Amino acid sequence: MLIYILIGACFFWLLILTFIFVKLRNHYYNLISTTKKERLDDILDSLISGERMLKAEVDDLKKRLEAEVKKSSLHLQKIGLVRFNPFGTVGGEQSFVAAFVDQENSGIVLNFIYTKEGLRVYTKRVKKGIGVEYELSKEEEKAIEKSI
């Protein structure tokens, strides 16, 4: 009886090993057929070279992205708007100042003053929050501060 149990256990063990072997063999043939290589060394070498190419591409993309981020700091990014009454108690707050500046608060300020005769528009260049040719009014400075 013990012999039959041992033969049964060996037969069961052989079935398990056969199943594992067939599964491994099918995986190996599937790997070879999809990569068009015959040896595992060739497959691993192609994977390593592919990884190196991808790493080089990612590094190149990182450098290009950093350059674009540096360039984008010079674009107009913030806009501030302040309404005010230039004539004190007469009239309402129909005049306004619009500031268009970049990350370093450099750009232009547009001053729209509404009078009875019509609308007057003035522009001033701004560099780092300070007027270049003309001094900024308190409304223009406030518009630069409020720019988001």
Tokens of residue 42, six digits: 């060739």
Residue 89: pLDDT band by 50, 70, 90 thresholds?
Answer: low
Mean pLDDT over the full length of the chain: 86
Q: Is the pLDDT of residue 87 over 90?
A: no
Q: Is the pLDDT of residue 106 over 90?
A: no
> What percentage of the chain carries pLDDT values higher than 90?
24
Q: Among the listed ranges 37-41, 61-65, 103-107, which one has the minimum average pLDDT value? A: 37-41
Q: Is the pLDDT of residue 18 over 90?
A: yes
pLDDT for 9: 93
* DSSP structural state of residue 121: E
143: left (phi over 0), alpha (psi -120 to 50) or beta: alpha
CB 52 within 8 A of CB 43: no
Rounded distance, CA 81 to CA 147, Å? 7
Nearest to 43 by CA among 60, 31, 52: 31
Domain boundaries, the chain: 33-72, 78-146
pLDDT for 90: 65
Residue 31: pLDDT band by 50, 70, 90 thresholds?
Answer: confident
Beta-carbon contacts of 20 under 8 Å, excluding residues fewer than 6 positions away, are none
Helix (H) or strand (E) holding 104: none
Give backbone dihedrals phi and psi of 46, rounded to 5 degrees, phi first.
Answer: -70, -35
* DSSP structural state of residue 148: -
Q: What is the pLDDT of residues 43-58, one digit of tens each?
A: 888 889 889 999 999 9
Q: What is the pLDDT of residues 107-146, one digit of tens each?
A: 889 998 888 788 888 888 888 877 888 888 888 888 888 8
Rounded distance, CA 144 to CA 130, Å? 9
Q: Is the dihedral of CA 55, 61, 63, 66 positive or negative?
A: negative
Helix (H) or strand (E) holding 108: strand 107-114
